[in-house]
Amino acid sequence: MSKFQVGDSKTIEVQITDAMVRDFAKLTGDFNPIHLDDAFAATTRFKRRIAHGMIAAGLISRAIATELPGAGAVYLGQTLKFTAPVFIDEVITIELKVKAIREEKNILTLDTICRRKSDGSTVLEGEATVLAPRN
């Protein structure tokens, strides 16, 4: 029997920093100037640098590992829809909510949403499938 119930939810808040963006670029090799070059980014529709979308997606993984379901969770799948940019130094709230439970396999389906803390607007939404730890 799962210790989780449909409707359970957790949130974390994280500030997206310049250092995170630069470290992500080094890790992945994604040196797109829209993420790293202020002068270039000023010429784009966003008028300033934006964070890599996958940073927010990675923070969903962090929330799964630390909050819901927590340590020992194994990611099985994730859908992502990027709906707005995240700017450097913005604080985002990562929300996880249990949508469904497969009791026999201890698998959770989670709604995953990232929002700007400043105005609550959604920047990323999706669904995660996670194998929850049994303990």
pLDDT by residue for the chain (135 residues), tens digit each?
468 999 999 999 999 999 999 999 999 999 999 999 999 999 999 999 999 999 999 999 999 999 999 999 999 999 999 999 999 999 999 999 999 999 999 999 999 999 999 999 999 999 999 999 986
* Global confidence as pTM: 0.92
Task: Respond yes or no on whether the N-terminal peptide bond of residue 85 is cis (omega within 30° of 0).
Answer: no
Q: Total structural domains in the chain?
A: 1
Q: Is 3 contained in some domain?
A: no
Cα-based distances in Å from 49 to 20, 74, 94: 13, 33, 21
Backbone angles phi, psi at 40, to 5 degrees: -65, -50
The domain spanning residue 21 has which CATH number?
3.10.129.10
Distance in angstroms (rounded) separating the CA atoms of residues 47 and 69: 38
Q: Is 64 contained in some domain?
A: yes
Q: Is 70 contained in some domain?
A: yes
Distance in angstroms (rounded) separating the CA atoms of residues 97 and 108: 10
Which domain range does residue 80 map to? 9-131
